[in-house]
Chain A
Amino acid sequence: MKNNNIPSYILAIILSIIFIYPLYILILIAFEPISLTFDRLYPYQLPFDFTLANFESSIKDLSLITPVLRSIVVAFIVSILAIVLSTSAGYGLNKLSSRFSNKIIVLMFFANMLPAIVIAIPISVYFIKLGLYDNVLGIALAQELVVLPISAFIMLGGFRSLPRDLENQANIDGAGMISTFRYVIMPLIKVPLTITFLLAWMTSWDEFTYAIIISPLAPTFPVSLYDYVSRGEPFISASFALIVTIPVILIVVFLQKYLKGEYLTGGMKA
């Protein structure tokens, strides 16, 4: 480590503390007796006691398991759909001149400029007719609205960063469109693909507005968590939230190895 790197390290540590602090509070609430957290006007910032009582009562209360499973299903539908749609959108947009494709991307973001509630209510009216109300697929389709523009944007960026001659070369080497895509392009867009997947998955995982309006009776996890908090049981939901954070962390850790971008143009430089 060089000396001139020390300020960067200090900054990185400060940043991490800021980002980790909420998680720390969550852990504190989950493992401390209520007497030290919610019952105090100024809760302690350091752990003085340890209890598993909150965990016991949250695990006993199995009514949260179904919403969690539902949320997982919805998140996977949203993210897989996002990958399929945004890959084709990005690939197609990349063939247009950038003046056109930039405008189309801006148009796609238009739905996100309105408050979600403005769109969710009319959608729910149609979804009742279509049988998508109170339905996993219904939530997923509505959440896709939030996820798709940014996904398409990321994928377009990914395709733009590919050297164009690579596709030409594959063509010349005898590959048709499908083979080119499968053997040459797909392996090179793993990074944006992973980012798209992660972003879509996590956005769906804690999306609230569409979920509560489209599917109030078959709620996703954030919606039922909210129910618990409003019923006055925040410590149970805190410990449960901690449990269900674990799969999210696992997914991020597992996909992290794809999140590096330096090899993309390697073969093209002399």
Chain B
Amino acid sequence: MTYKMELINLKKSYNNVKVLKNLNLTVNDGEFLVILGPSGEGKSTLLRTIVGIESLDGGKVTVGGKDVTNKPPNKRNIAMVFQNYALYPNMTVYENIAFPLKMERIGKDKIKAKVNEVTKLLKIEDILNKNVTKLSGGQKQRVAIARALVRDPALFLLDEPLSNLDARVRYTSRQELKRLQKELNYTFIYVTHDQLEASNLADRVAVLHNGVIEQIGKYNELYEKPATKWIGDFIGTYPMNFIDGGILDYAGKTIGFRPPWTKNGNDIKAEVNLIENSEGNYYVHGNVNGNSIVIRTTEKYSIGDEISFNLTKFNIYNNGILEDVKLTEYYKNENL
């Protein structure tokens, strides 16, 4: 069974600091939603209030249409994987995975069958009798996920589950998580500050900033059309470039463009002050009327050169909020 989840006007503050301010979010059933935001924006707090180990100052959490706001965590049927996995150190792998079923007072044979099914799915059948303190990071993560899966939860919350793994394991784990979620068709809510994870895993990405979901959509949408200047700055390997609108006849507004959205031309001029070489392209840093920018080019420049270029497309921001998306006359040529 999969469930839809709704968060309505969530409010939460710590010591007079408002962490969540009327946060609204709907997660569709079977969806892989990634909540993305820099550290300290309250992503973990949000998950903790959804699962119920942190109380809310106001608002409502519904799962599958039922209001669970006032239920304790053990009655919500929401599974969660913590960043540090929180495996029970006094139990073996088998006992860890069986624990949620044991709490439901299911018969021993049934528990065994279910644990076996889940461990087969995650390929950890051969470590069932090991002590969890003796496992590698990747194994611990699988055990934690198995323990969450085994009870057929309505909703799956994952709090940066890959951040403690090394790069290679992280890559394989990421693929596997995605495969699992699609195969089993569970609703996943996944918190991370890592854009790569967000773009790889998510059906939709929700950006948490200043206690609200600032934008929600496919990762590409967030990249191409950031709803605010802040998101443009936050999303992408290189932040979006922002220059004064006056340069292209949009006085009083701000023009935003990504490093690849440029083409040789004479509209904008800048002096090169840093060059980065990245997989066949050069990322050239420069300065336009006091705003530092980065553009991608295949031509070689050196520091101190003047570089001039045209934009193939750009976004117009008014007071930091997206107003319009423009394709210029150079855009078509670019696509040829």
Contacts and interface: CB of A to CB of B under 8 A. Distances in A.
Nearest to B141: A270
B100 A263 contact: no
A163 interface: yes
Interface string A170-181: 111111100100
Interface string B133-168: 100010010000001000100000000000011000
Interface residues of A, number: 25
Contacts of B133: 263, 266-267
A187 B103 CA distance: 17
B73 A267 contact: no
Given A168-B73, A179-B103, A267-B133, A173 B89 contact: no
B89 A264 contact: yes
A172 B73 contact: yes
Contacts of A188: 89-90
Nearest to A171: B73
Nearest to A176: B74
A175 B147 CA distance: 14
Contacts of A263: 89, 133
Interface in A241-270: 263-270
Interface in B77-114: 78-80, 82, 84-90, 99-100, 102-104
Given A165-B82, A270-B164, A270-B165, A175 B88 contact: no
Contact of A175 (B51, B78, B79, B103): B103
A175 B89 contact: no
B131 to A, nearest CB: 8
Contact of B86 (A168, A174, A187): A168
A267 B89 contact: yes
A51 interface: no
A184 B82 CA distance: 16
A197 B90 CA distance: 21
B134 to A, nearest CB: 8
Nearest to B144: A169
B132 A269 contact: no
Interface centre among B73, B86, B140 (most CB of A within 10 A): B86
B53 A168 contact: yes
Nearest to A175: B103
B53 A268 contact: no
Given A267-B133, A270-B165, A174 B103 contact: yes
A226 interface: no
Contacts of B90: 184, 187-188
A30 to B, nearest CB: 44
Given A266-B132, A269-B84, A171 B137 contact: no
Interface residues of B, number: 32
Nearest to B147: A173
Contacts of A183: 88, 99, 102
Contacts of B51: 172
A263 to B, nearest CB: 6
Contacts of A123: none
Nearest to A266: B133
A173 B53 contact: no
B72 A171 contact: yes
A213 interface: no
Interface string B119-140: 0000000000001110001001
Contacts of A172: 51-53, 73-74, 78-80
Contacts of B89: 188, 263-268
Interface in B174-232: none
A208 to B, nearest CB: 39
A250 to B, nearest CB: 26
A180 B244 CA distance: 59
Contacts of B151: 173-174
Interface centre among A171, A187, A188 (most CB of B within 10 A): A171
Contacts of A269: 84
Interface string B301-315: 000000000000000
A81 interface: no
Given A174-B103, A174-B104, A183-B99, A267 B86 contact: yes
A166 interface: yes
Contact of A171 (B53, B87, B88): B53
Contacts of A267: 85-89, 132-133, 140
Interface string A56-85: 000000000000000000000000000000
Given A172-B78, A179-B103, A165 B84 contact: yes
B86 A165 contact: yes
Interface centre among B78, B85, B90, B131 (most CB of A within 10 A): B90
A269 B103 CA distance: 25
Contacts of A264: 89
B148 to A, nearest CB: 9
Contacts of B72: 171, 176
Interface centre among B48, B82, B131, B151 (most CB of A within 10 A): B82
A183 B100 CA distance: 11
Interface of B: 48, 51-53, 72-74, 78-80, 82, 84-90, 99-100, 102-104, 131-133, 137, 140, 147, 151, 164-165
Of all A-B residue pairs in the complex, the 4 with the closest CB atoms, nearest first, are A266-B133, A267-B89, A270-B164, A174-B103
Given A171-B72, A268-B84, 14 more contacts: A166-B88, A171-B52, A172-B52, A172-B53, A173-B99, A173-B103, A179-B103, A184-B90, A264-B89, A267-B87, A267-B89, A268-B86, A268-B87, A270-B165
